[in-house]
């Protein structure tokens, strides 16, 4: 039972922490998200209530595993996004180019945030890369712990 409790807490704390970090980066350090950054947030938005449900509803292992799969999904999207940032493959072109209808000289226009440029790195790893590493391994571990039976 200890493994399931560990998995439930990981399933709740990992996406909550990563979302908190994303919002700190966005509002505290002026790093607005690109479209692919938002794609990575959506599975975390789903994982938090799924993990909370694991504390209140039965079977807890199912809710925990679903949260883990959502976290893993975010990690895989982050891996794709990191590959685009590092130039390993081409990303979604609408996310990497300036739309023709946007007047870039208009100061009221919303800033275009490119998906193929990492606005910040640590040790050469972008935020998308960190999301890939953390979410993929944590998501897989949560699913494995939730599925583990003695």
pLDDT, position 45: 96
CA 8 to chain centre: 18
Between 96 and 77, the higher pLDDT residue: 77
pTM of the entire predicted model: 0.84
Distance between CA atoms of 91 and 85, rounded to whole angstroms?
8
Residue 105 in any domain: the answer is no
Q: In the predicted model, what is the mean pLDDT of residues 45-70? A: 93
Reading the block at residue 64, the tokens are 């925990």
Which is more confident, 88 or 97?
Answer: 88
- Domain membership of residue 96 (yes or no) is no
- Sequence-separated (6 or more) residues with CB below 8 Å from residue 27: none
Distance CA 66, CA 115 (A): 28
Residue bearing the bigger pLDDT, 42 or 116: 42
Q: What is the pLDDT of residue 104?
A: 54
Count of structural domains, the chain: 1
- Model confidence at 124: pLDDT above 70: yes
In a domain, 21, yes or no: yes
């Amino acid at each position: 039972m200890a493994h399931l409790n560990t998995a439930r807490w990981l399933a709740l704390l990992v996406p909550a922490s990563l979302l908190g970090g994303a919002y700190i980066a966005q509002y505290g350090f002026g790093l607005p998200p690109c479209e692919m950054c938002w794609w990575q947030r959506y599975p975390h938005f789903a994982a938090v209530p799924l993990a909370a449900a694991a504390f209140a509803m039965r079977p807890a292992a199912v809710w925990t595993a679903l949260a883990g799969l959502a976290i893993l999904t975010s990690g895989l999207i982050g891996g794709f996004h990191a590959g685009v940032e590092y130039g390993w493959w081409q990303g979604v072109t609408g996310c990497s180019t300036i739309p023709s209808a946007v007047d870039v000289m208009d100061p009221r226009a919303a800033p275009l945030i490119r998906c193929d440029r990492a606005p910040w790195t640590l040790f050469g790893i972008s935020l998308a890369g960190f999301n890939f590493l953390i979410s993929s391994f944590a998501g897989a571990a949560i699913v494995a712990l939730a599925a583990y039976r003695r």
